[in-house]
Structure 1
Amino acid sequence: MSTVPLEDYALLSDCRSTALVSTAGSVEWLCLPRFDSPAVFGRLLDGGAGHWSIRPDGPCDVERRYRDDTLVLETTFRTRTGTVVLVDALALGRRERGHALGASSPGVLLRQVTCTSGTATVEVGYAPRPEFGLVHPVMSVLRGGVAAVGGSYRLVLSAPPGLRMRASTAYGHFSLREGERISFALQDASPWAGAEPAPWHRARIRHRLDDTVRAWRSWTRLHQSYSGPWEDRVNHSRRVLQALTFTPTGAIVAAPTTSLPESVGGGRNWDYRFTWVRDASFTLQALSTADCQSEQAAYFDFLVQAAATQLERGVDLQIMYGIGGERDLTERVLPHLGGWRDSRPVRTGNDAWRQRQLDVYGELLDAARQTLPHGHWFSPPARKFLLQAAEAAASRWHEPDQGIWEVRGPHQHFLHSKVMCWVALDRAIDLAHVLGATADRVAVWRKVREDIRTAIEARGWNPHVGAYTQSFGSGELDASALTLPLVGYLPGDHPRIRSTVTAIATHLTDGRGQVRRYLRDDFASTEGAFLLCTFWLAHALALTGDVERAREVFQNALRCANDVGLLPEESSSVTGEALGNFPQALSHIGLINAAKAIREAEQRAA
């Protein structure tokens, strides 16, 4: 069982995979060669599932930061006798710059320790446990490092002399004086990985660290179009989204982890290392704000390619895909893992791929409209697919589904799903000229769009609650109703929108000022507040014209970020601690979009 707080971790990325590093200098999550590969280090989910720690061997004070405009982590340890600085990065491709970030990443974790003052003894513990801890590799000494072989893995650790080995673990102590440095590099040298098996010299490690810094900074320079409130936060969130992007396909994972719980000890522990169509619209808004035009195009192309032919076969559009476009994401339990803070089961895969969520049609067509203005013309297959998506929304909007929150229970007539079907037809009408839609077809879309609005106003609005509610005929509030003004269903100053925003702010906001998704829970557990929903509230308040309150809610959401600016999925309503898979793309997306909305509201007011 792991008990390290989630906010204790910092993210590394090579735009193909990620690592999580604790404040104690321990890498406790690393999947190679992809986000969705089995973990090589998995102590995040179980104490015996592997880690790689580098830190002083005695008490110390710790500070850390990302180097300016990068995701290269710098951790400073101050001991009684001296100070050491640990620099960590997942190497980007040699001389990669700008939009090409991650195109040729070698899959190498780089770590460099420098004594900057006095003296210090650094202890190293290297315990790779591939396949989520099932493999305890055989270790042997190489010239310039250590090899670990087990299962399908051959890992090569480039390291200075002095490491000893015992029971599939390498460990050692290194005494450093001011100005002295030691360097490490971990690479997957499995035959199928295509990596060179020889250890790296320390000069090569230093050069690749410097090159990775330059690569991140070159990408940042190309994406600095946003200016306004919380500019540094928006820019950092852009880098986090890029870090969660699988460059070979353009897919963006919801989070780089699996099975971090929505409530401590509960069963809602899902694998988030996939791409959800549900997230597409808000993701593309965020990428637009960040001036990520090529990233927008790549992400939209991925969605179209992954979903190709499903609709013409008469089946529902799948709600999520693997980062390579995979469709079968069958869920399985890893019973040998204890879970973070004893939250079990630990899962890989996600059976939500089997669910029916009618909102995906609106997400897809809204994503298409956002992509088009930036010169990304639709190919004939894409036009055909988008036409089919509009037709599916028109014919299926009145049917029940499992909703945006993926309720694993009976299908219902969820309000958000109906609204997004309205969005699908609204965007299809707007795109009719580039989709090649006939006048007769557009006339039908207009009629159905009005039918959906009529149903929403009659059955989705609850006058006794004074709000749009979770599902038709329901009295339950749901934070997804905050998206109605965000997607343009009604303007922010409409009386029903103002009333809904007030109701959610009053009844779904916890004592810490964070917004819950809803109050009822089909898993009979008490989950934390959902950070995206807090940013939605700030966004919606800006659209209503209440800029002062929007700023207040936004600032409150920012308090959930850790010391290096990473946002969780949820936060505990009692303690404020981070919950859910970490860091969460949707939270950073919500930050970017809410900041832009507040900026625009302030400009209108001025």
Structure 2
Amino acid sequence: MGQPPISDYGFLSDCRSGALVSRDGSVDWWCPGRFDGSAVFARVVGPQAGHFRLAPIGAGRPGHRVERAYHPDTLVLRTVHHTPEGSVAVTDALAAEIGARAHQLGMNSPAVLLRVVEGLSGRVRMALEYVPRPAHGLLTPYLHDQSDGTVLATAGPVVLVLGASGLSLQAERDRVYQEFEVSDGQVVGIDLAYGEAYGTPPVRLDPLMTLAETIQAWEAYRETHQYPGRYPELVRPSATVLTGLTYARSGAVAAAATTSLPERLGGDRNYDYRYSWLRDFSMTLRALWVAACPHEASRLFAWVTRSIGRIGDKPVPVVFGLEGERDLTEHECPHLPGYAGSGPVRMGNDAWCQRQLDVPGEIMSAVWRLRDYLGDTFDEELREMVLGLTEQVASTWRLPDRGMWETREEERHYLSSKVLCWAAMDRAVRLADRLGGRADPRRWAVIRDEIRDTVLREGWNDRIGAFTGAFGSTELDASALFLPVVHFLPADDPRMRATIAVIERDLSTEGGLIRRWNTDPAGFVLCSFWLVECLVMTGEQRRAEELFERVSGYANDVGLFSEQIDLITGAQLGNTPQALSHIGQINAAWRLTDPSAF
């Protein structure tokens, strides 16, 4: 369909919003207000939905070569274009606040996109093409030339100001197109500032000074925590991606920066991942603690407890908005055809109102993981949350639900959901001495053991010789690899060994990727890293290392993973960058470092 592959995109973040920039220099996605806000560039899901391209004229012709890399421990992306006429570097970033350091990163981000062009050799003619289309492409703004050489764009609630040092920009009706030359040693700084029509106006910043400040802010952040384990050259960039997906104001971690990038080209499993999933909570917390920063792990925990509020009769939602919003009602955008024509494009995610029984188990596992940090006696709100979740599981674990993969078909008794119900009750029993007089560990232990017996009886399929995805099902599901990770069964238990072997036989690919189920047309990155952990826990360290390195090789040239990998082409599929894929890599690397961890 003429669109760049998903793996062509680099990720920019100011810990408030995210942008995607392609290898050919086009910013095709940016939601400047916040990750789950409205995009001013959305060409990744619609050709006419706005973009901002900056590249040599004739890019892509013979003799044009691109190299790119992040400045170490940052999400500041430097792309070098080698052309027959010379070489030029374009450095892209979302600006940090001037003076922000370490944990201040993202707290007051100014919502400015920086693009700095530097001539390296020869003379290279560049083209700047700026086509803003706010509201995911629904709005075409008025563009106004300003006396200082900038261009003002206004449409609906959005105000944008585009400026460039040494250039006097001029609008052509609804876009800016300008050519200019850069020679060896010449630098042109470009800034695009976002503001609100009826609120905070755009704040213009000096591009060169702000870029230097932004690099320092990222570097200072990474200096707050040094990863001590194996594969630091892979883990540290993944930890930086997780930081970039963290909404600094609340501490929530977005599942991805994008919406509706398809799990299969031409398919309709295209969902909005710009929110924070509680189902991923324990895994995310573990990765943050190991590889990013304990401070961020504690902030994420505080966000979850605040977002949940007092536990009532209704199940805790699996997903929240980045400031704890519950109602994420989904709607389709018929004006957007979707990536490579793979519609529909969705905003919002109706998973928020599904019943997913695994959520309390994830939260309780996180509480157990942080028990030493949380103290010998829990405060009232934490105690009420743990007690409420425990009693909710005790009364609902027998119900069917939508499962870990959030099926939109009928509810079933999913294995992974029941196992996490067991995890919730198991952690509650272990935490009982911190919960005050209302704790009932004897009764909880009876329920825990009943759940375990039910899973072992109903989840195992003799004909398949493995645990399957749902009670009574003959369909394999890679989520069974999660059982040893949550300590439901040791990986060397005969039933677990058999399950691992069957999953490897029937769900793995030549490249080491693991599909979620037999009909899944793509490998799922997280499940592949779960298999690495299982192999470590069965004592197969060397095989685990080989698999880890093969799966890690599916990242793009700047170390980013989307959600899935096409089995035939090796192309990335799904929303990007995908937090769970990077979380899986971090946790697998730490398991390889310390097989007894967690």
SS at match of 1:290: helix
Report the Cα distance in structure 1 between the residues aligned to 2:181 and 2:316, rounded to whole angstroms.
Answer: 59
User: 2:222 corresponds to which letter in structure 1?
Assistant: T
SS at match of 1:597: helix
Q: Structure 1 residue 221: deviation in Å?
A: 1.1
The 5 Å alignment of 1:65-76 reads 65-76=69-80
Query: Does the 8 A contact of 2:466 with 2:498 survive in 1?
Result: yes
- CA separation of 1:549 and 1:193: change in aligned 2, threshold 3 A: farther
Q: Does 1:172 align with 2:178?
A: yes
- CA separation of 1:456 and 1:302: change in aligned 2, threshold 3 A: same
Aligned to 1:131: 135
Report the Cα distance in structure 2 between the residues aligned to 1:50 and 1:217, rounded to whole angstroms.
Answer: 32
Query: Does the 8 A contact of 1:116 with 1:179 survive in 2?
Result: yes
**What does the per-residue CA deviation read over 1:481-511, in whole Å, with 9 as the maximum and x for residues that have no partner?**
0011000111122111111111111111134
Aligned to 2:212: 210
User: 2:210 corresponds to which letter in structure 1?
Assistant: R
Q: Tell me which of 77, 84, 87 is aligned to 1:83.
A: 87
Report the Cα distance in structure 1 between the residues aligned to 2:237 and 2:453, rounded to whole angstroms.
Answer: 42
Report the Cα distance in structure 2 between the residues aligned to 1:555 and 1:303, rounded to whole angstroms.
Answer: 33
Report the Cα distance in structure 1 between the residues aligned to 2:293 and 2:2, rounded to whole angstroms.
Answer: 37
The 5 Å alignment of 1:239-250 reads 239-250=240-251
SS at match of 1:431: helix
User: 1:281 corresponds to which letter in structure 2?
Assistant: S
Query: Does the 8 A contact of 2:242 with 2:579 survive in 1?
Result: yes
Aligned to 1:148: 153
User: 2:164 corresponds to which letter in structure 1?
Assistant: A
Query: Could you tell which deviates more after superposition, 241-250 or 491-500?
Result: 491-500
**What does the per-residue CA deviation read over 1:158-179, in whole Å, with 9 as the maximum and x for residues that have no partner?**
2243433223110101112211
User: 1:179 corresponds to which letter in structure 2?
Assistant: G
User: 1:136 corresponds to which letter in structure 2?
Assistant: T
Structure 2: gaps spanning 5 or more residues = none
- CA separation of 1:146 and 1:379: change in aligned 2, threshold 3 A: farther
Query: Could you tell which deviates more after superposition, 504-513 or 445-454?
Result: 504-513
**What does the per-residue CA deviation read over 1:143-194, in whole Å, with 9 as the maximum and x for residues that have no partner?**
1411011111110112243433223110101112211111111111224452
Query: Does the 8 A contact of 2:229 with 2:590 survive in 1?
Result: no
Q: Structure 1 residue 80: deviation in Å?
A: 1.1
Structure 1: gaps spanning 5 or more residues = 521-525
The 5 Å alignment of 1:1-40 reads 3-40=3-40
- CA separation of 1:42 and 1:378: change in aligned 2, threshold 3 A: farther
Report the Cα distance in structure 2 between the residues aligned to 1:534 and 1:61, rounded to whole angstroms.
Answer: 33
Report the Cα distance in structure 2 between the residues aligned to 1:602 and 1:331, rounded to whole angstroms.
Answer: 42
Aligned to 1:53: 53
- CA separation of 1:424 and 1:2: change in aligned 2, threshold 3 A: farther
User: 2:67 corresponds to which letter in structure 1?
Assistant: E
Q: Does 1:278 align with 2:279?
A: yes
Q: Structure 1 residue 600: deviation in Å?
A: 1.6
The share of aligned pairs that are identical, in percent, is: 43
Report the Cα distance in structure 1 between the residues aligned to 2:198 and 2:304, rounded to whole angstroms.
Answer: 27
Query: Could you tell which deviates more after superposition, 365-374 or 482-491?
Result: 365-374
SS at match of 1:55: strand
User: 1:218 corresponds to which letter in structure 2?
Assistant: A
**What does the per-residue CA deviation read over 1:187-222, in whole Å, with 9 as the maximum and x for residues that have no partner?**
11224452445x44xxx2111100110111111111
Report the Cα distance in structure 1 between the residues aligned to 2:471 and 2:84, rounded to whole angstroms.
Answer: 64
**What does the per-residue CA deviation read over 1:379-421, in whole Å, with 9 as the maximum and x for residues that have no partner?**
3112101110011111111111110001111111101011000
Query: Could you tell which deviates more after superposition, 121-130 or 217-226?
Result: 217-226
The 5 Å alignment of 1:71-470 reads 71-142=75-146, 143-160=148-165, 161-196=167-202, 199-200=204-205, 204-228=206-230, 230-290=231-291, 292-309=293-310, 311-312=311-312, 314-375=313-374, 378-436=378-436, 438=438, 441-470=440-469
SS at match of 2:402: coil
User: 2:171 corresponds to which letter in structure 1?
Assistant: M
Aligned to 2:594: 600
Report the Cα distance in structure 1 between the residues aligned to 2:2 and 2:596, rounded to whole angstroms.
Answer: 44
SS at match of 1:393: helix
Q: Structure 1 residue 444: deviation in Å?
A: 0.6
User: 1:9 corresponds to which letter in structure 2?
Assistant: Y
Aligned to 1:544: 538
User: 2:200 corresponds to which letter in structure 1?
Assistant: G
Query: Does the 8 A contact of 2:127 with 2:177 survive in 1?
Result: yes
Query: Does the 8 A contact of 1:492 with 1:545 survive in 2?
Result: no
User: 1:403 corresponds to which letter in structure 2?
Assistant: G
**What is the aligned length?**
590
Q: Structure 1 residue 456: deviation in Å?
A: 0.8
**What does the per-residue CA deviation read over 1:511-560, in whole Å, with 9 as the maximum and x for residues that have no partner?**
4321111124xxxxx54111100001111111111111111221121121
Aligned to 2:499: 500
Report the Cα distance in structure 2 between the residues aligned to 1:295 and 1:378, rounded to whole angstroms.
Answer: 20
Q: Does 1:582 align with 2:576?
A: yes
Query: Could you tell which deviates more after superposition, 369-378 or 112-121?
Result: 369-378
Report the Cα distance in structure 2 between the residues aligned to 1:290 and 1:414, rounded to whole angstroms.
Answer: 31
Report the Cα distance in structure 1 between the residues aligned to 2:288 and 2:108, rounded to whole angstroms.
Answer: 22
Q: Does 1:530 align with 2:519?
A: no
Report the Cα distance in structure 2 between the residues aligned to 1:16 and 1:287, rounded to whole angstroms.
Answer: 18
RMSD: 1.5
User: 1:239 corresponds to which letter in structure 2?
Assistant: T
Query: Does the 8 A contact of 1:387 with 1:437 survive in 2?
Result: no
Query: Does the 8 A contact of 1:92 with 1:106 survive in 2?
Result: yes
Q: Structure 1 residue 471: deviation in Å?
A: 0.9
Report the Cα distance in structure 1 between the residues aligned to 2:578 and 2:202, rounded to whole angstroms.
Answer: 33
User: 2:100 corresponds to which letter in structure 1?
Assistant: E
